[in-house]
A and B are shown apart, each in its own frame.
Chain A
Amino acid sequence: MNTLIFRTVAPGLTALMLLFSVFVLLRGHNEPGGGFIGGLIAASALAIFAIARGVGSVRRAIVFHPLAIAGAGLLMACCAGLLSLFLAVPFMTGLWIYPSLFGVEVPLSSVMLFDIGVYLVVVGSLTSIALALEEREVE
């Protein structure tokens, strides 16, 4: 399936999918979407890239080892829960702040941090599995 068309289209498609995954991740709190599904989209984007251009280029492109990304996501999710420790509320209580950027109110929350953590765990774990499978071209 490694055709010229596929190899040419894949990078653009991947970039588009990654962008879309971030969009899906961020809109998740009010519209269909969220960390889990966003992570799945990003993982499939990377899988497509890996099939088209080889595992090495994906590894170079994402810089960190996929499992390190998953670990960072898990840590981020834990930290989002632990933030409540400093405000003397139960573990995992959602915390919200509304700073204003260039006159636009941007709602930020520990819940969003948690969702990003979920996203990174899903991307990292699935990508590491997909890359490891694709890589085994020993025989």
Chain B
Amino acid sequence: MADATALTFAALCLPFLGAVVAPFLVRMLGARAAWLLALLPLLAFAHFLGQLPAVAVGPITGGYDWAPSLGLRFSWLLDGLSVTFALLITGIGALIVIYAGGYLEGHADQGRFFSFIFLFMGAMLGLVVSDNFLMLFVFWELTSIASFLLIGFDHRRAAARRAALQALVVTGGGGLALLAGLLLVSSATGAAELSQLLQSGDILRDNPYYLPVLLLVLGGAFTKSAQFPFHVWLPNAMEAPTPVSAYLHSATMVKAGVYLLMRLNPAMGGTVAWEVLLPLFGGVTLVVGALLAVAQTDLKLQLAYTTVASLGLLVMMVGFGTSHAIEAAVVYLVAHSLFKGALFMVAGIIDHETGTRDVTRLGGLRHALPATFAAALVAAISMGGLPPAFGFLAKEQIYDALATASPWAVVATSMAVLGNALMFAIAFAVGLKPFWGKTKGTPKQPHEAPISLLAGPAALAALGVLAALFAGHVHQWVSSPMASAVSGSTVEVGISLAPHIGLPLLLSLLTIALGAAFYWQLDRLRAGMALCLRWLGTGPDRGFDHAITGLIRLSAAVTRILQPGRLEIYITCTFLCVAAILLLPLWIYGELPVMPAFPSHLQLHEAGVLLLALAGILAVVVARDRLTAIVSLGIQGFSVAILFLLFGAPDLAFTQLMVETLAVVILAMVMTRLRLSPRDRRSFGQMLLDGSIAIACGCGFALLLMKATERPLDMALSDFFNTYSKAIAHGANVVNVIIVDFRGTDTLGEIAVVAMTGLAILALIRVRAHTERKLAENDPNAPEDLGVERP
């Protein structure tokens, strides 16, 4: 099936294509470009939908060689888990793009926004289908970078910048932990691809490094999926425009950690550490997130904290280990994506139409926004876990899985009930409260949202109900293959809308009763939580600030010690080290070279050049002013160049000649600018010290070179290049062939350094020129024209 391979690759590229063309399309078509752009993810969606029947049978792998000499492949693994994620990412992605077209209509930077969101979509899509570890890591970090750009989209506000930076530091740091973990996995099992790892059985679990590997991987997963105490970045990420929040929370980034845990469950799950750490962190995140959600008055923040709670619930279920729990996690994940996406878009519509997101200022919007209200209510029913929505199935399955498990389950079950009840309350606080009650005055007079804004929430809310009504089909094509992939063996998901008599139903009723009570007393609950938070004081969010401030203080302190700002100290240190490195090994190991005999066949012109070099050095030492010293140094350099020329290295001679010329020119330019006195005014002691360091360095180099020439010359490399440079690289000049052909990649690195150095030096000079211009501008006697060009 070479065809399917090419098509999958194309589907992976589509979002990146969107990222490139979006700015141009927006410039040409304005906000209508969104409809066209949405076709890209839709095409990818159609491709992955077409893969479902094949994936239901077994996983598909495919890909291309990337860097074969490093064993690196661009390879993907399509199974129930990755295809479900791919469908969510592309499907919801298409709706988000349309929604963003309406939401940011007329925004000056809409094209840039689309670029970022497509970049993000592509990164996320690559992440979930990656088979190769390194490819997974590359896409993992790309999602962090893309989310940094998206969260900081409104970069003029300090809060947005801080939130973006925080997300990058937290998730990027976790990504590094993940990289270390994956490398360890790779060296422990010999697997470079997930598909190999999943078939390797217990090798990883039995490895002595299992626990460090697990901790590192969890570091990546927990930071990405905002588990307590790393959850802070996620609510702060609400600084991003609402379409981003909707996308981040429903389909993509925050679920990447959950995806990773699900993916690794067959290879790493089922151990004591796994079954303790995941439910523990997940459970705490669930309760903390749900409680913090209640404390908010901002619609988006309420939803953000319930996402934290939902992610906690998912992690808890994955860690629980039974196949029932896996089924519950799978169904809940799909349900959550549908309702959370819808509700976020509704929150965005409310914000867009009324000018506020504060629940205390909203009410009675059902008259003005009837269609939005319908979508919101249906999504809220799913989130609250009421029939006939997919969320109901998910909740029943959770209770079914927890109630039939170990004694630990009592704790987990009560956490789940409490969390679900709080989420029930929040669901209706967002989906019902702003629309019900008396109409309140809002900053803007609300009107029903346009079709581009409504399409997304309406579609997702409707899907939430349809998925429940046709649960059999959904389970057959989506839930069962995904659950099978996560648990590593065939699992049939069978939950339906029919009442589940027994403990699950009782727990469900308890949840609804509690949730209704919470909803009833939401204001009082919020006041209570606010009191609690004030009593608790600093949280992890402030902690992040303290950590960053501390880091800056630390680096400032270290800099003060290591870089006191006096050039002569640096230079003295550097050359002392050079001298020590050159001389000490020779002396300690007794490897001092034998003094060679004075060459008897020294020709007259050779001796002349040597004398010239010596004269140059002598002139440097005795020179009365700096300029003379520089020029004398040039004499010495030119003599060396002539030596190179005499002994058959014209390339070296050439380069030496030019470098000497430029060195003299640039040194002279610097010297005349530095306002140094023309004379050297060092004290005699200082001169003695500097002189001895210089002599030590020189002796070190000379002795080392002499030692090197004492050994017989190995001609292997010279022979190789002499033989092959004409045959392979079509060049007679061996030196140049080595530079541009045999070692071309090194040269590429070197010229990159040269260009970078040029940039840095220019920046430094410009900083000084700028301050001097400032000084000159304040000087009443300064001439009008300062002779400084602005490039």
Question: Measuring CB to CB, which residues of chain A are less than 8 angstroms from any residue of chain B?
Answer: 24, 28-37, 40-41, 43-44, 47, 51, 55-56, 59, 65-67, 70-71, 73-74, 77-78, 81, 90-92, 94, 96, 107, 109, 111, 114-115, 117-118, 121-122, 124-126, 128-130, 132-139
The answer to whether residues A129 and B762 also contact, given A37-B658, A40-B658, A81-B744 and a CB cut-off of 8 A, is: yes
Docked Cα-Cα span, A55 to B650, in Å, equals 33
Instruction: Tell whether B659 is near chain A: CB-to-CB under 8 Å.
Output: yes
Encoded as 1 (CB less than 8 Å from any A CB) or 0, chain B from 747 to 791 comes to: 110011011011101100110110011001000000000111101
Q: Which of B40-48, B339-347, B612-620, B735-743 faces chain A?
A: B735-743
Contact A28 B733 (CB under 8 A): yes
- Known A29-B731, A67-B762, A122-B751; judge A43-B662 contact (CB<8 A): yes
Q: What is the predominant secondary structure among interface residues of chain B facing chain A? A: helix
Q: Nearest-CB distance from B672 to chain A (Å)?
A: 9
**What's the Cα separation between A117 and B747 when bound, in Å?**
11
Residues of A within 8 A of B744 (CB): 81, 92, 94, 111, 114
Contacts A56-B789, A121-B751, A126-B758 given: A36-B739 contact, CB under 8 Å? yes
Return chain A residues, CB-CB under 8 Å to B768: 136
Q: A33-B654, A128-B758 are in contact. Are A133 and B669 (CB under 8 A)?
A: yes
The total of interchain contacts (Cβ-Cβ below 8 angstroms) comes to 165
* Contact among B654, B748, B791 with A37 in the assembled complex (CB-CB below 8 Å): B654
Whether A92 contacts B745 in the complex (CB less than 8 A), given A118-B751, A135-B789, comes out as: yes
Set of chain A residues within 8 Å of B787, measured between Cβ atoms = 137-138
The CB with the most chain A CB atoms within 10 A, among B654, B730, B751, B762, is that of B751
Please give the number of chain B residues whose Cβ is less than 8 angstroms from any Cβ of chain A in the complex: 52
Most buried by B among A109, A121, A138, A139: A138
B759's nearest neighbour on chain A, judged by CB, is A67
Task: Report the Cα distance A48→B191, complex, angstroms.
Answer: 60
Identify the interface centre among A90, A107, A115, A129: most chain B CB within 10 Å of its CB. A129
Evaluate contact between B758 and A138: CB separation under 8 angstroms: no
Task: Please determine whether B69 and A124 come into contact, CB atoms closer than 8 angstroms.
Answer: no
Q: Which residue of B lies closest to A119 (CB)?
A: B751
Given A34-B736, A111-B740: A121 touches B754 (CB 8 Å cut-off): yes
CB-based nearest A residue for B658: A40
Does B534 belong to the interface (CB within 8 Å)? no
Q: Is the CB of A138 within 8 A of B669?
A: no
Tell me whether B732 is interfacial, beta carbon within 8 Å: yes
| B655 CB–A CB distance under 8 Å | yes
Q: Is residue B651 contacting chain A, with contact meaning CB distance below 8 A?
A: yes
Note all chain A residues with C-beta closer than 8 A to B751: 73-74, 77, 117-118, 121-122
**A33 and B758: CB pair below 8 A?**
no
Residues of chain B lying within 8 A (CB to CB) of residue A125? 754-755, 757-759
Out of A37, A107, A121, A135, name the residue touching B655 (CB < 8 Å).
A37
Can you add 17 more A-B contacts, CB < 8 Å, to A35-B739, A92-B745, A107-B730? A29-B731, A29-B740, A32-B735, A34-B740, A44-B658, A47-B662, A73-B751, A74-B751, A90-B69, A92-B748, A96-B730, A111-B740, A114-B747, A124-B758, A132-B761, A133-B670, A133-B673
